[in-house]
Amino acid sequence: RYAERNVLLKGGSDPDRPMPANVLYVIGFPLGREPKLFATPTSVDIRL
């Protein structure tokens, strides 16, 4: 299964100007046991 989400990334240096991005989630499950829905977090802390 996969899912896509359009997000706005806020950087530490300029949080007032978020950068648009598209996130792709790819998740593997045993054949025939895939869920109909899955949840993803709406907020994460990414450090480069």
The confidence score (pLDDT) of residue 22 equals 92
Residue 23 has φ and ψ, to the nearest 5°, of: -105, 135
Domain range holding 22? 1-40
In a domain, 47, yes or no: no
In a domain, 45, yes or no: no
State the pLDDT confidence band at 48, using cuts at 50, 70 and 90: low
The confidence score (pLDDT) of residue 47 equals 66
The confidence score (pLDDT) of residue 20 equals 92
Contact of 19 with 8, CB cutoff 8 Å: yes
In a domain, 10, yes or no: yes
- Domains identified in the chain, total number: 1
pLDDT digits (tens, 9 = 90+) for 17-38: 888 999 888 888 899 888 888 7
